[in-house]
Amino acid sequence: MNSNAPGWDLLIINARVAAMIDGADKIHSDYAIAIRGASIAWLGPTNDLVGSPEESADKVINAQDQLVTPALIDCHTHLVFGGHRAAEFEQRLNGVSYEQIAKAGGGIQSTVNATRACSDNELADLAEKRIACWLDEGVATIEIKSGYGLDLATERKMLRTARRLGERSPLTTVSTFLGAHTIPAEWKDNPDGYVEEVISMLKVLHAEGLVDHVDAYMESIAFSAEQVSRVFKVAKELGLPVKLHADQLSSGGGAQVAANFDALSADHVEYTDQQGAEAMARSGTVAVLLPAAYYTLRESTPPPIDLFRKHGVPIAVATDANPGTSPTLSLLTSMNMACTLFKLTPAEVLAGVTCHAAAALGLDDRGHLSIGARADIAMWKVNTPAELCYWLGARPLKHLICGGELAR
C-alpha cells in the first residue's frame, strides 16, 4: 500500500446507496463507502476515489447491483421471554378475544409465569437463538423490553439477559424497563400498590445500570394515564427517556400522555386522534407502528397515517416481537405489512426501520450513512426499497456490517 493511501479497513464500491440523509427515496448509484474502525470514514461516488480500491483498503467488496442501506433497527421488541402462547392463538381462532383471555388470567400473566420459571441460562439460550433471526435480516440494533417478570428478581433477570445478548452478539441492544406491563396476579387487589412497586424496582434496576429507557402499557386492561404518569415522573427525575404503548385497543389519550413527558416514541397508536398527533409533533415523539400485532389481533382500525404525515410526526416500524400479540421473528415481514396493511410507501418504511427507528431509541449515531456515523450497514441482494418490502420470506440479505465488523 502506498504511503498516501487512506488505509481504510473496508471499502464497499459500486453500490446503490440509500443513505437516509437526503430523503428516503434518494438512491445514489455507483457509490462507495469506506470504513475505518467502527465508523464510516468516507462516502461518495466510486469514481471520486483517489487511487485504486485495493490500494485504499485492506478489504474491498464489490456491491454491484446491491442496495446498501443503514443496518436495520428494530425499536420495539419483547424478545426475552419463556414459553409460548400457541394455545391462546387457538382460543382466539375460536372467537375468544385478547382482552377476555387477559381478564381470565392468561395473556401477559401466562408469559410472566413461564419467564419466572426459567433459569438465567434457559432465558439467555432462548433469546440468543431468536436474535440470530434479526441478524439474518440485516438488523444491527434492537430494543428489548422487560415486563414478563413483574417482580424485582425476574425483571433483573430479563434486563441482564438483554445486556448479555448485546455483549455476546454483534448487535447493539437497548434495554427498556417495562415493569408497568400488566398488574401481576399477586397485586390484583392493589393496583396502585403495584405502581409503587414498579417505581421501587425502577430505582433499583437503574442504580444497577440495567435500564436505558422506561416504557408502560397504557390501556383499559393495563394502566391508567394517572398511573403511567406516576412512573414516568420518576423516570424523568432519574434522567431516563420514556416511551409508551399507547392507543392500541382503545382511544385513551395515550399519545398526549407520551407527549407530556417528551417521550421518544408512542407505539401502536391505532386510535390516536388529531390532538394526539399534534401533541406528538410538538414533542418530537416518534409514532412506532407495529403492524404484526395489528395483523395477529385482526384489528380493523389502522393508525392515522395521514394525520402523522400532515403534522410531520416521524413514523417508525417495528416487530413488537412477543409471544402474545406478535409472535414474529422477522422485521422484514413487518415492513411488508406496514405497506400492505397501513399503506406506507416503501420509502417511508425504510425510513421507519432506519433513521426514524434510531430517533425512537434516542440514537443519533446510526440509522443513516454519513461520515462519522457508526458503520452499521446492510447490503441487499435486491436493488430498490420497494423490492425489500415486497418479498415475503426471501432472505434478501447479502452482508451485514455491525460497528465495522462483517457479521453476516
The residue ranges that bind ligand DI6 (CB under 6 A) are 78, 107-108, 111, 181, 217, 245, 248, 290, 293, 320, 322-325
Q: In whole angstroms, what is the distance from residue 92 CA to residue 113 CA?
A: 20
What 3 state SS string does 124-166 have? HHHHHHHHHHHHHCCEEEEEEECCCCCCHHHHHHHHHHHHHHH
Shortest distance, position 78 Cβ to ligand DI6, whole Å? 6
**Cβ closer to ligand DI6: 231 or 377?**
231
Tell me the per-residue interface mask from 267 to 306 with Fe ion, x by CB under 5 A, - otherwise.
----------------------------------------
Which of ligand DI6, Fe ion, none lies near 111, with the C-beta cut-off 5 to 8 A by kind? ligand DI6
Identify the CA nearest to 134 among candidates 400, 343, 368.
400
Handedness of CA 20, 21, 25, 26 (dihedral sign): negative
Give the nearest distance from C-beta 320 to Fe ion in angstroms.
Answer: 4
The partner in contact with residue 325, picked from ligand DI6, Fe ion, none with C-beta cut-offs of 5 to 8 angstroms by kind, is ligand DI6
* Run of H or E residues at 110: helix 108-116
User: Length of the chain, please?
Assistant: 408
Please say which residue, 46 or 161, places its beta carbon nearer to ligand DI6.
Answer: 161
Please tell me whether residue 375 adopts helix, strand or coil conformation: coil
Task: Kindly tell me which residue out of 320, 336, 344, 361 binds Fe ion, with binding defined by CB under 5 A.
Answer: 320
Region of 79-87, 167-175, 196-204, 318-326 interacting with Fe ion (CB under 5 A): 318-326
The C-alpha cell 464489490 sits at 62
What CA–CA distance (Å, rounded) separates 16 from 69? 9
Scanning 4-12, 177-185, 198-206, 315-323 for contacts with Fe ion by CB under 5 A, the matching segment is 315-323
CB of 269 to Fe ion, least distance (A): 12
Minimum CB separation from ligand DI6 for residue 37, in Å? 37
CB 83 within 8 A of CB 323: yes
Residues lying near Fe ion in the complex (CB under 5 A): 320
